[in-house]
Amino acid sequence: MTDSNDQPIRVLFLCTHNSACSQMAGAFLRRYDGDRFDVHSAGTDPARRVNPLTEVAMGLLGMSLIGQYPKHLDQYIDQSWAYIITTCDDANEAWLVFPDDPTRIHWGFQVPPRPGRRKTACACSGASGTKSNGGSNPLSPFRPISVGRVVASGAARE
């Protein structure tokens, strides 16, 4: 899927800390549909580093987050996006204005725990199979290709 100029569709995954769910969603989309999408992730209040449990979870899937780090939304706010996908309720509730009125999608994943609380660590990776609102997780169970399908089927611009 590309836009009318044969350019990749621009997607921004947005969460509060950009240290877990948005990093994972971005990694899945880059890996499985990266030739069709220009994928980035950011946070409204970025952490200092990617959550170590996120790195472990991605490693178990054979994926690496090497080179990835939490980024602030400010570096992307004035850019044009086809899709803004929020992965936490706080980011979804933030009033953000982007140029070109991008399509907004909200995937309210459970917030990952602090290190040491492993039981719910993989909730955002799809292991739980549910979103925090009780709905179906589009990445579950570990079907990263679903990210591309949801974006591609979610009212791609004509």
Q: Give the Cβ contact number of residue 142 at 10 Å.
A: 15
- Terminal CA-CA length for the chain: 11
- Domain coverage including residue 42: 9-153
pLDDT computed for residue 96 by the predictor? 80
The answer to whether residue 89 sits within a structural domain is: yes
Is 46 a member of any domain?
Answer: yes
Q: What is the CATH number of the domain that holds 64?
A: 3.40.50.2300
What pTM was estimated for this model as a whole? 0.71
The verdict on residue 30 lying in a domain is: yes
In a domain, residue 93? The reply is yes
Q: Residue 60 is inside which H or E element, if any?
A: helix 52-60
- Residue 151: Cβ within 10 Å count: 24
Mean pLDDT along residues 119-131: 37
In a domain, 1, yes or no: no
Helix (H) or strand (E) holding 30, with range, is helix 21-33
**Structural domains counted in the chain:** 1
Taking the C-alpha atoms of residue 139 and residue 76, their distance in angstroms, rounded to an integer, is 24
Is the residue at 130 inside a domain?
Answer: yes
pLDDT at 114: 52
**Angle at the Cα of 59 (from 56 to 65), degrees rounded to 5?**
90
Answer whether residue 133 is part of any domain: yes
| pLDDT tens track for 42-51 | 999 999 999 9
Domain membership flag for residue 3: no
